[in-house]
Structure 1
Amino acid sequence: MKDQQAPSGILLLDKPAGITSNAALGRAKRIIGIKKAGHTGTLDPMASGLLALCFGQATKVAGFLLDADKTYEAEACLGVTTDSEDAEGEVLERKAVPALDEAAIEAVLARFRGAIEQVPPMHSALKHKGQRLYDLARKGETVERPPRAVVIHELELIDHDEQSLRLKVTCSKGTYIRSLARDIGEALGCGAHLSGLRRTASAPFDIRDSVELEALESLTRDQARALLAPPDRALEHLPAVELDEQQAARMAQGQRLAGLRASHSGQVRIYGPGTFLGVGEMDGMGHLKPVRLFTAG
């Protein structure tokens, strides 16, 4: 029997290493029991950590989470480069690691903070002439990849030894931590590959509020659904606009509104009396148009 009362919301899952993001989503869907679902920012199989899963109408806010800044704890293995830029690839070269003190490492890390350009890895889902780069890489092909602009908001050395660095990285969307490890290793003169990765935050969510997959699978459907965060939690960075009952009814029909007392310009969260309606756009003059609306029920 179809569940007519299936809720919508965002599940914060702590994905274990060793499985794909799609596999983690599939297992969560079986527990939650809602077919319409998607994840927001893939984690590689070797990576663990925060995976925000959107269920039901919360899939309408997935795009906002894809664009969000992310925070990672990463481990870079020094002296060894691989074709995939991580521990799952074939070794390309081994080099001696020079003696590195914290000051020398910090001097290199400083070069990677802020706005930088980054060449994406061949083992990625980006396309070249209609083909995924990882498909070309599996055939042994390498193609020119234009550098992409990304922003490294925070790059902190957590710990290091003779063969590895542990880093905390907060970055913009589109950043490849594998490529960051590769470039830092090159700048240190010995090469490196990503040997461990854990996502600890995906704005506005934090790993501390997540549930481990194994723990989720021990819950009943109702218990699991109780963990769903409301869809508008993904939009807390947007200003909120409150509508009265009549305005909310018009907005729900897709109509534009004028004469609102709001000085916001750009995207906003829209609320009717006690209800989240969706995302709209203000022009700064009190005009509001719908961008992405949620239907009732």
Structure 2
Amino acid sequence: MPKITVPPLPVSCLFGMIKPSGPTSMSLLNDLQPLLSKSRLFEQPSGSLPQRKKKRSKKVGDVKLGQGGTLDPLADGVLVLGVGQGTKKLTEFLDCTKEYSTTCLLGCETDSYDSEGARVRVAPWKHVTKDKVVEALSQFKGEIQQTPPIFSALKMDGKPLYEYARNGIPLPRPIEPRTVTVHSLELVEWRGSDHSFSWPEKALTEDQKKAMEVAIRGIDKTATIKDEPEPAVQDAERPTAFVIKMRVSGGTYVRSLVHDLAHALGSAGHVVTLTRSRQGRFVLDPTEDGDQACVPWSVFEKGLADPGSADEEGWTEWEREVLQHMQVI
């Protein structure tokens, strides 16, 4: 096993972790906290810790740990973590260039714009072809305006947008669009009906749809939410799905791009898979100068279950992985 050069301890650093789909980003950090805090890589010497305010829940001895831009539970891929003084560098990863690949399932849109939400409406999808998708993608390249979903935690006049939608309160003004840059956008896989995805079973009730209509009509008097089912669909027939890959600026809503693309195709759609393959210099597959590979969550998961024996240099498997992938601050 190659010898590792170890910086002065304890270490402050940045490193990328490969998040799995399912858990929240924060739950994984909470799981990591005790593992990192017990490691001599990060453990503070006894008596060197400043006094912490009582209102903070962090225990004396816990390392400072943060993330540079969360991923939704559905999403997997690159999650940049900062330890110690590395947490002060995390803001640069909110505005950095990012890459994603995502699967769009046509024919249905949801309140969250992804498969975790409830069905809002269905729409025809059989008319959408591979060539039409390729053609429509050109509308979303370069500098574009994006409007965040109404079912989001963004606030308007002190109230989250989702409260307007859920309670039937008219929006006082249009949701402010954001300017983002889509550096590249391409169709990488046409799945057609060859997949196992399906629309969410959960759907908005008629009362919930009416409440959402009232909220939207605060800015669009003619807004309606109406199902337009695809005629003559076989019971076993699955709606069209396809995968797109993009390199975008910070602040880009991938789910909104998929939602808007489906509308441009004369259909409806939502995200069923989402992978972040790049966050700044941290990537799943290093291909460019300066790219930094990431540590799979499974490495930490194994260390949490059983750290195992230390090697001849005194490091466990997960510690060696971090040492090989971290950037010292």
Name the SS for the 1:77 alignment partner: strand
> Are residue 21 (structure 1) and residue 25 (structure 2) matched?
yes
Q: Which residue of 2 aligns with 1:265?
A: none
Aligned partners of 2:96 and 2:280 also within 8 Å: yes
1:147 equivalent to 2:177? Answer: yes
Q: Does 1:177 align with 2:254?
A: yes
Identify, as 1 or 2, the structure richer in strand: 1
Q: CA deviation at 1:134?
A: 4.5
User: Who is 1:90 aligned against?
Assistant: 118
What residue number does 2:266 align with?
Answer: 189
Which digits, 9 at most, give the CA deviation of each residue in 1:215-272, with x for residues without a partner? Answer: 213234944344151245xxxxxxxxxxxxxxxxxxxxxxxxxxxxxxxxxxxxxxxx
**Alignment correspondent of 1:257:** none
**Matched-pair contact (CA < 8 Å) for 2:94–2:251:** no
Could you give the per-residue CA deviations for residues 260-290 of structure 1, whole angstroms, max 9, x where no partner exists? xxxxxxxxxxxxxxxxxxxxxxxxxxxxxxx
1:6 partner amino acid: P
Q: Does residue 109 of structure 2 align to residue 12 of structure 1?
A: no
Let me know the Cα RMSD of the aligned residues: 2.2
Aligned mate of 1:57, from 71, 85, 88: 85
Work out whether 1:218 is the aligned partner of 2:302. Answer: yes
The answer to whether 1:205 aligns with 2:289 is no
What's the CA shift for 1:83?
Answer: 1.1
Is the CA contact (8 Å cut-off) linking 1:29 and 1:35 kept in structure 2?
yes
For 2:298, give the aligned amino acid: E
TM-superposition CA deviations, 1:19-62 (whole Å, max 9, x none):
11111111222222252111111101111111011110001111
SS in 2 for 1:218: helix
- The TM-score with structure 1 as length reference comes to 0.71
Structure 2 CA distance for aligned equivalents of residues 35 and 53 of structure 1: 12
SS in 2 for 1:180: helix
Select between 159-168 and 40-49 the one with higher mean Cα deviation. 159-168
Alpha-carbon spacing, 1:56–1:137, altered in 2? closer, same or farther (3 Å): farther
SS in 2 for 1:178: helix
Post-superposition offset of 1:138: 5.4
Aligned residue for 1:181, secondary structure, equals helix
- 1:200: how far off? 0.7
3-state SS in 2 of match to 1:86: coil
User: Is residue 110–residue 117 contact of structure 2 (8 Å, CA) maintained in 1?
Assistant: yes
Aligned to 2:67: 39
- Are the counterparts in 2 of residues 28 and 213 from structure 1 also a CA contact under 8 Å? no
The offset of 1:140, in angstroms, is: 6.0
Pick 1 or 2: higher relative contact order, CA cutoff 8 A, min separation 6.
2
* Cα separation, partners in 2 of 1:122 and 1:148, compared to 1, 3 Å: same
Conservation of the 8 A alpha-carbon contact between 2:259 and 2:268: yes
Percent sequence identity is 34
The residue aligned with 1:115 is 143
| Counterpart residue identity of residue 217, structure 1 | E
**Aligned-pair CA distance for 1:131:** 3.3
